[in-house]
């Protein structure tokens, strides 16, 4: 019933995956669906990718993995991020793979699985320069050897994360790939099979073919959005998400009339003001106050005044609008478009934040 909602085009998601597969020479794909599939809806998107034959799924939290298992997903699911000891029993119960980040966690996982007569499916996390989680690459030889000596650890993969891959000219990515490959060469030196090697995030997939290795981890590009507004477009990816609303109220205001909290915008002339029933309570950035735009009848309409929790106002200048008129907040209308990358630029942030902030107050409708 709500006039503000998200529309997700499943055909576009399929086309984006096809383009990515062609670009990586049909290597295996782990579809990364963190933060409600970047705002697109975790469960529905996961089922689509399972139908399309991706090799595995990546999530940020055990809870996300459990939701997918409860919804019937049978694909391997890898939980990213730092895992605490007390989370391991549930990870095991729901057949979730997870990162092992340290000797301490490796030893605890081995002891826990031994008492339960279970085998943990893990990916060894190597820090090749991101500086966030994992064993530093230069210190990883004994870590890998200890994991191989463990009786209840099933090493499914060994991985790292690229810090600067959104910039194809940044030399750090090459340095990270070299450090990572040197670290994982230990498997061969020890005479054992090397597990799945993965380091390529969306930037790596796009710009660094040497990072593709055994499986890639595309995230935001699956949804047709580039990691940074300035990223070079090398694939014809299309955004799958449209954020729509409707004009809920319209009025004419005289010169000198102020709009919204703090009276930060005042009309210079007689103006036509439309109210849109959407706000920061839905994850639409308050920082877009007096700087964002929407589309109404194919025309850009600037936001005036501060974005409220549930509403914001736009200036339609001299054009009267009817209640119920369609508003495009993200997406296309009459040949015009407002992209996530553009909104991120207005808000002085990155596209990831714009998408993942779109919360569950907004219904998701799936088409095609």
By the 10 Å C-beta count (0-12 exposed, 13-18 middle, 19+ buried), 189 is classed as exposed
Round the CA-based radius of gyration of the chain to a whole number and report it: 24
DSSP 8-state symbol, 50: H
What is the β-pairing status of strands 153-159 and 196-198? parallel
CA 114/CA 150 separation, integer angstroms:
10
Catalytic residue annotation:
34, 261
Q: How many residues are present in the chain?
A: 368
Q: Which two tokens stand for residue 82?
A: 């730092």
Q: How far apart are CA 284 and CA 287, in angstroms?
A: 9
Give 164-191 as a DSSP string.
Answer: STTSTT-THHHHHHHHHHHHHHHHHHTT
Q: Are 245 and 321 in contact (CB under 8 A)?
A: no
Q: How far apart are CA 70 and CA 311, in angstroms?
A: 35
């Amino acid at each position: 019933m709500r006039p503000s909602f998200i529309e997700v085009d499943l055909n576009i998601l399929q086309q984006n995956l096809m383009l990515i597969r062609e670009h990586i020479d049909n290597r295996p794909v782990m579809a990364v669906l963190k933060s409600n599939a970047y705002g697109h809806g975790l469960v529905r998107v996961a089922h689509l990718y399972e139908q399309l034959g991706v090799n595995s799924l990546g999530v940020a939290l055990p809870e996300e993995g459990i939701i997918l298992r409860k919804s019937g997903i049978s694909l391997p699911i890898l939980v990213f991020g730092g895992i605490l000891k007390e989370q391991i029993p549930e990870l095991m119960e729901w057949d979730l793979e997870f990162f092992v980040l340290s000797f301490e966690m490796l030893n605890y996982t081995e002891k826990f699985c031994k008492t339960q007569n279970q085998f943990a499916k893990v990916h060894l996390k190597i820090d090749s320069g991101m500086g966030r989680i994992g064993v530093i690459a230069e210190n990883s030889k004994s870590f890998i050897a200890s994991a191989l000596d463990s009786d209840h650890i099933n090493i499914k993969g060994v991985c790292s994360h690229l810090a600067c891959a959104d910039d194809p000219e940044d030399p750090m990515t090459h340095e990270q790939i070299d450090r990572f490959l040197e670290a994982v060469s230990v498997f061969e030196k020890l005479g054992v099979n090397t597990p799945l090697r993965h380091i390529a995030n969306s930037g790596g997939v796009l710009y660094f073919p040497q990072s593709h290795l055994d499986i890639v981890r595309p995230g935001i590009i699956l949804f047709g959005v580039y990691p940074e507004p300035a990223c070079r477009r090398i694939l014809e990816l299309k955004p799958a998400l449209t954020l729509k609303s409707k004009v809920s109220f319209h009025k004419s205001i005289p010169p000198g009339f102020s709009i919204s909290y703090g009276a930060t915008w005042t009309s210079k002339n007689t103006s036509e003001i439309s109210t849109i029933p959407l706000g920061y309570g839905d994850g639409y950035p308050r920082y877009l106050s007096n700087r964002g735009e929407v589309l109404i009848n194919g025309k850009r309409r600037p936001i005036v005044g501060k974005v409220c929790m549930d509403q914001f106002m736009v200036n339609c200048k001299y054009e009267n609008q009817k209640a119920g008129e369609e508003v495009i907040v993200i997406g296309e209308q009459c040949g015009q478009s407002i992209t996530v990358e553009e909104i991120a630029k207005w808000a002085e942030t990155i596209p990831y934040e714009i998408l993942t902030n779109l919360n569950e107050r907004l219904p998701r409708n799936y088409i095609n």
